[in-house]
Amino acid sequence: MGYVSIEQFNEACRLRKTIDGELNRIAVTDDIQEIKQIACYFRINF
């Protein structure tokens, strides 16, 4: 595996933190509409 630049590393960390936060939000919400919005966001942006 090759090296990555600091920018690539920071982008990967940001993405991982975003995913972790959204998964945590899904885990605690009872609002099905909010879960659908989060899923839609991921389909569009990732």
Q: What is the pTM of this model?
A: 0.73
CA angle 38, 44, 17 (to 5 degrees): 55
Q: Is 25:38 a contact under the CB 8 Å cutoff?
A: yes
Residue 42, Cβ neighbours under 10 Å: how many?
13
pLDDT at 41: 86
pLDDT at 26: 92
Over the stretch 1-46, which tens digit does the pLDDT of each residue have?
Answer: 578 999 999 999 999 999 999 999 999 999 999 999 999 988 887 7
Q: Is 26:35 a contact under the CB 8 Å cutoff?
A: yes
pLDDT at 1: 59
